[in-house]
Amino acid sequence: MVCVLVLVAAAAGVIQADELHLDNGMVLQGIVVKVPGLKMLTAERNNISEIRNLPFYMVDDGVRRYFLSTRFATPVDYDPLNPYVTYDLFQQKTGRAPGPGVVGASKATPFDRFGRRTVSLTSKHGDIHIIQGITKVRPDWVLVEGLNHDWEYRLDTKVVPDEVLQAIVEQATDQQNSEERKHAVMFFLQADKPRLAQQELERLGEDFPELAEWCRAYKQSIAELSARLGLNELKLRRLSGQHQLANFIARQVPVDEVSADVALEAQEIVATYDKALEDRDRALMWLDLLHAKIPEETAAELQGMRARLRDEMHVETLERLVPFLRVVEDETLTPDQKLALAYSGWVLGAPEAVEELKVAQNLWAARFLVLEYIRSDNDLRRDEILEELQNLEGVSVSRVADMVGQLPMAFETPVTESSIVEDVTFSSDSGEAERQYSLMLPPEYSPHLAYPMLVVLNSSGQDEASAVKWWAGDAQQQGWAQRRGYIVIAPHYLDKETGEYDYSTESNTLVRDCITHVRKRYRVDSDRVFIAGHGMGADATYDVALSAPD
């Protein structure tokens, strides 16, 4: 395998951007070009005058292309002084036969240490085996070409196994050339591979002792990169509700080896979790002390509320106690008023907390009635509940509306272990049909946090559990869905006799019934329910999404 090492700088005629910052907070990376439209017809309409109109950005990261209005983003120019390290690899090609126009299922062997693999496609004439090779390696993507067929595409460098990437770079580098060895270290840094960069740096220091000073400087860069990647992962897990892991990662940041801003950010996150634990213990202690200062009869009435509040305490819910903790040592307020702030804030949210204990008790009574209303399918009982709610002093329609967002799950959440696939069977609302889906919960699932949900529809020849694992991974190797805190389900939507999607109303309804069943038993963010599929599952995805776009 022959290799050419290239340092890629900005190409003429385009805007290079390391990052494109969107107004909604998203950041896209890649080459940014202003374009007149997403297709030729749009481009022609935008250029009917002499003044050229370029209302869109196209962002090409080498693997994907994004199109968005120039009104919603700001490009950050590429730094020509920090070019990418790129390797051009020679792979022997034995033919350029065209690939099949229409194919069925496919499977691929792993890349070997030379960057080659075989992809097998199913066609009407039998299996077609296409040998592929990696012919270009960049920190952000690799170019894959067919060696016996005409086929070319790019993959994100992150999907190439570390051991394969390391072997390719090692073979492409003259081990006796210190400059090329330094470029290998730089490549792994640019590819966000601090572990591989550290290994290469240690080997470089052993083989070229005269580069000790250079190695010391890059050791600091590697430590900084590792800490920043860890911090990014920490933020991702924190937003996903994985607080135990986020707390653990924050405490592992080597504050003496990284920049001050990274160290400070990690320390602030640790302090936030320490304060949450302190607030929890402080709130429980003061509830006990205040219960002891009120009449025994009243304390007995509040005991059930205290037990439920304690059970529902979580990092995500502690903010409801802010009004209570703020005044808990204020001697101008009575124990009744302080307890009212705690218990009313818990059911309404901190901004709506009240100081009347009787009203707070009525709000808890209303809470139980609302939960019963949601669970009940008896119209007569529902009417009775509405009448009881109207008779509760201090319980208004607006307060019930505030309460809904703070409610626990109406239906008991089944005890399901995170990161494993579990098959769930239930009956449809009519009771005439049995439904089934495969489910995986994200790590540290909590009923106190609303999670996004991904509905995946498996392709022909793939079972539902495999489809879930493709998106979510497993306990040993977590996929993107788990890392981002998604509930993943795979409805068993295929016809049991043919194993195919039949485009029927029954199959379509089955998928939606599964979504409804999950939403009743797990905390799902209704604004973040997504559906996806491969092969036949993609056809079904399109069908279901068009029939129920909401």
What secondary structure does DSSP assign to 172-205, as a single string?
HS-TT-HHHHHHHHHHHHHTT-HHHHHHHHHHHH
Q: Is the pLDDT of residue 416 over 90?
A: no
Q: What is the DSSP string of 434-489?
A: EEEEEEEPPTT--TTS-EEEEEEEPPTT--HHHHHHHHHB-SSSB-HHHHTT-EEE
Res 466 pLDDT > 80: yes
pLDDT at 396 over 90: yes
Token pair 């933020």 is found at 235
- C-beta separation of 76 from 17 below 8 A: yes
Q: What is the pLDDT of residue 74?
A: 67
The pLDDT of 55-84, averaged and rounded, is: 73
371: three-class secondary structure by DSSP:
helix
Q: By percentage, how much of the chain surpasses pLDDT 70? A: 90
**Exposed, middle or buried, 281 (CB in 10 Å: 0-12/13-18/19+)?**
exposed
Averaged pLDDT, 371-393: 94
**Cα–Cα distance for residue pair 532/195, rounded to 1 Å:** 33
Is the per-residue pLDDT at 8 higher than 80?
no
pLDDT 10s digits, 516-528: 999 999 999 989 9
Tokens for 510? 């089955």
pLDDT tens digits, 27-66: 787 778 788 777 666 656 656 555 567 778 888 887 888 8
pLDDT value for 7: 43
Q: What is the pLDDT of residues 197-233, one digit of tens each?
A: 999 999 999 999 999 999 999 998 999 899 889 888 8
Q: What are the structure tokens assigned to 431, written together?
A: 């009771």
pLDDT, tens digit, 9 for 90 and up, residues 102-111: 555 578 899 9
Instruction: Quote the tokens at residue 136.
Output: 């270009």
Note the pLDDT of residue 121: 83
d(CA 126, CA 346): 64
Confidence of residue 126 (pLDDT cuts 50, 70, 90): confident
Six-digit token string for 428 = 């449809």
Q: Name residue, tokens 């079904």.
A: 540
> Which pLDDT belongs to residue 262?
87
Among 182-186, 363-367, 410-414, the range scoring the smallest mean pLDDT is 410-414
Higher-confidence position of 134 and 11? 134
Cα–Cα distances (Å) from 454 to 94, 234, 398, 486, in that order, read 42, 22, 33, 7
Of residues 235, 165, 158, 229, the one with CA closest to residue 200: 165
Task: State the first-to-last Cα distance of the chain, in angstroms, to the nearest integer.
Answer: 52
Q: How far apart, in whole angstroms, are the C-alpha atoms of residue 324 and residue 283?
A: 8
DSSP sequence for 96-137: -EEPPSS---EEEPPP-TTSEEEEEEEETTEEEEEEEEEEEE
- Tell me the whole-structure pTM to 2 decimals: 0.78
Residue entry with tokens 């903010």: 319
**Euclidean distance between CA atoms 206 and 222, whole angstroms:** 17
* Residue 86 DSSP SS3: strand
- Measured in degrees and rounded to the nearest 5, phi and psi for residue 141 equal -155, 160
Report the C-alpha gap between 224 and 203 in whole angstroms.
20
Say whether 140 sits in a helix, a strand or coil. coil
Q: Kindly report, residue by residue over 300-327, the tens digit of the pLDDT.
A: 999 999 999 999 999 999 999 999 999 9
Q: Which helix (H) or strand (E) holds 65?
A: strand 65-69
Structural domains in the chain, CATH included, are: 8-77 (2.30.30), 86-231 (no CATH), 293-404 (no CATH), 422-547 (3.40.50.1820)
Which pLDDT score, from 0 to 100, does residue 12 have? 28
Instruction: Determine which of 64-68, 176-180, 297-301 has the lowest per-residue pLDDT on average.
Output: 64-68
Give the model's pLDDT for residue 47: 60
Residue 328: helix, strand or coil by DSSP?
coil
* 3-class secondary structure, 537: helix
